[in-house]
Structure 1
Amino acid sequence: MKDKIQTFFAAYEQRFNDALAGQQVDVNETTAAFADYFVESSPAGVMGGKNDDQFKEQIPKGFEFYRSIGTLSMKIGQLDITELDEFHAMAKVHWISAYKGNRQIEFDVHYFLNMLNGTPKIFAYITGDEQKVLSENGLV
C-alpha cells in the first residue's frame, strides 16, 4: 500500500508542477486522484464536493490562481503514510512551495485515502489557513 501511495503523490506533485509551468492541465488525471465525493476541513470550515463536471471546470482555474500569485513549484518535502486498515490510509504531506521573489512557504496537508480497488483516491483532506498564510506573505 505504501509504495502505491508514494507513487500516487509523486504523480500528484508532477501534475501540479506541470500545470504551474504552463503545460496543459491534465484534468482527467487530476480528478482521478479524488473519490466520487470528498471532504475538506480547514479553519474556514468543512466543505464537501462531488467529483463531477463542475469540479473538472474548477481545476484549471485553481492552477491559474496559483500561477497568478507567482507560485513556481510545489515540492513534497516529506511524506508520512499511516495505514489505517487494508483499504484506508492517511498521508501527511509536508509541501514546500516556491514563489517569485525567492519566497518559500512550507505547510502540511493530511490526506485520507481509500484503496478499495487498489488505487489511491483522496476522500478527505485537512489543511491550514492557506489564505491567511498567502496574505501574510504578500501574495494575495
Structure 2
Amino acid sequence: MPARQYKDFFSKYVRAYNQGLQGQPDTDLIRSFFTDHFLAAGPDDVQTGFNNHFFSATLKKAYSFYQKIGARELNIRNLVVTPIDRNHDMVKVYYRAQYSPDGAPIKSIDFDVTYFMQQGESGPRIFAFVSGDEMQTYRDAGLAI
C-alpha cells in the first residue's frame, strides 16, 4: 500500500484520538482501526486484544488517564512504511504529543509506535503494535508517578 494511504489512515486515527482527548471518545470509531483480534507489545509484555466492549472500556480508561496527565493533542511527525507481503505492511509512526497538566506550560514529547497492518476488503487495519515504555516516558517528563 502506498505511504500516502497510510498517511490518510493514521491522520484519521489521530483525529479520533484527539477527539477522545476533548472528552468525547468515539470508541466505535477507534475500534474500526483494529482487526477483530490484535497484539499489543510493550517493553515488559505482549498481550492479545479482542475488539469488543472490553476494548471500548479499556479505551475509555486510557482517555481518562491521558486527560489526567494533561494530554492536549497528538500529531504525526512522520511515518515509514515497510512492505511485508502483498497483504501486510509494517508502519512506524513518529508522533509528537502536547501535554499541559493543570494549565502548566506545554510539554512536547516525541515517541514512535510500530504498527503491523493487514489489508482487507474494507481497507487497512491494525493487527499488532509495538510501543516503548509509555509510563516511564511520562515519569521522565514529570507527568505521572
Q: 2:116 aligns with which of 96, 112, 116?
A: 112
Aligned ranges for residues 1-140 of structure 1 at < 5 Å?
1-2=1-2, 3-22=4-23, 24-100=24-100, 101-140=105-144
CA–CA distance in 1 between the matches of 2:33 and 2:46? 20
SS of residue paired to 1:115: strand
C-alpha contact (below 8 Å) 1:4/1:119 kept by paired residues: no
What amino acid sits opposite 1:97 in the alignment?
A
Identity percentage of aligned residues: 33
- Aligned-pair distance for 1:6? 1.8
* Farther off after superposition, 29-38 or 77-86: 77-86
TM-score by length of 2: 0.90
- Aligned-pair distance for 1:133? 0.8
What amino acid sits opposite 1:127 in the alignment?
S
What amino acid sits opposite 1:71 in the alignment?
A
CA–CA distance in 1 between the matches of 2:129 and 2:143? 23
CA–CA distance in 2 between the matches of 1:54 and 1:40? 15
C-alpha contact (below 8 Å) 1:71/1:99 kept by paired residues: yes
- Aligned-pair distance for 1:28? 1.0
Alignment size in residue pairs: 139
- Aligned-pair distance for 1:4? 2.7
- Aligned-pair distance for 1:63? 1.2
Question: Structure 1: where are the runs of 5+ without partners?
Answer: none
- Aligned-pair distance for 1:47? 1.0
TM-score by length of 1: 0.93
CA deviations 1:92-116 (Å, max 9, x no partner) are: 0001011112211101100000002
SS of residue paired to 1:43: coil
